[in-house]
Amino acid sequence: MTFRTAYGNTRSENGWRMCNRDACERILIPGADNQFLAALIVRSGPSEVVLRAWAIWYHRNVERLDLYKAGVGDDWGWSLVNDVGDSNHLSGTGYDFNAVQYPWKLRTMPAGRKQKVREGLRLFEDNIFWGADWARADEMHYQLNKGTASGDGASAKLIEFARRLEAGYLGLLAGTTVPPVLPKPVARPTLRRGDSGGEVTYLQGLLNRMFASYSKLAVDGDFGPATESVVREVQRRSNLAVDGVVGPDTWRAAGQR
Residues in contact with Zn ion by the rule CB under 5 A: 96, 141
Pick 96 or 195: Cβ nearer Zn ion: 96
Q: What is the DSSP string of 201-252?
A: HHHHHHHHHHTTTT-----SSB--HHHHHHHHHHHHHTT---SS-B-HHHHH
Pick 132 or 245: Cβ nearer Zn ion: 132
Please state the closest distance from residue 55 (CB atom) to Zn ion, in A: 13
Q: Angle between the 198-210 and 225-237 helix axes, to the nearest 10 degrees?
A: 50
Pick 43 or 141: Cβ nearer Zn ion: 141
Please state the closest distance from residue 208 (CB atom) to Zn ion, in A: 12
**Cα–Cα dist 21/131, whole Å:** 23
**Cα–Cα dist 58/203, whole Å:** 25
**Cα–Cα dist 211/177, whole Å:** 36
Please state the closest distance from residue 224 (CB atom) to Zn ion, in A: 26
Please state the closest distance from residue 89 (CB atom) to Zn ion, in A: 6
Q: Which residue, judged by CB position, is nearest to Zn ion in the bound state?
A: 141
Supply φ then ψ for residue 200, to 5 degrees: -70, -40
Please state the closest distance from residue 102 (CB atom) to Zn ion, in A: 10
3 state DSSP class of 76: strand
Pick 83 or 96: Cβ nearer Zn ion: 96
Supply φ then ψ for residue 25, to 5 degrees: -145, 165
Pick 48 or 96: Cβ nearer Zn ion: 96
How far lies 115's CA from each of 6, 110, 132, 232, in Å?
35, 9, 12, 41
Pick 136 or 184: Cβ nearer Zn ion: 136
Supply φ then ψ for residue 96, to 5 degrees: -115, 135
Please state the closest distance from residue 95 (CB atom) to Zn ion, in A: 7
Please state the closest distance from residue 232 (CB atom) to Zn ion, in A: 25
Pick 13 or 96: Cβ nearer Zn ion: 96
Nearest to 95 by CA among 59, 135, 122, 69: 59
**Cα–Cα dist 44/84, whole Å:** 22
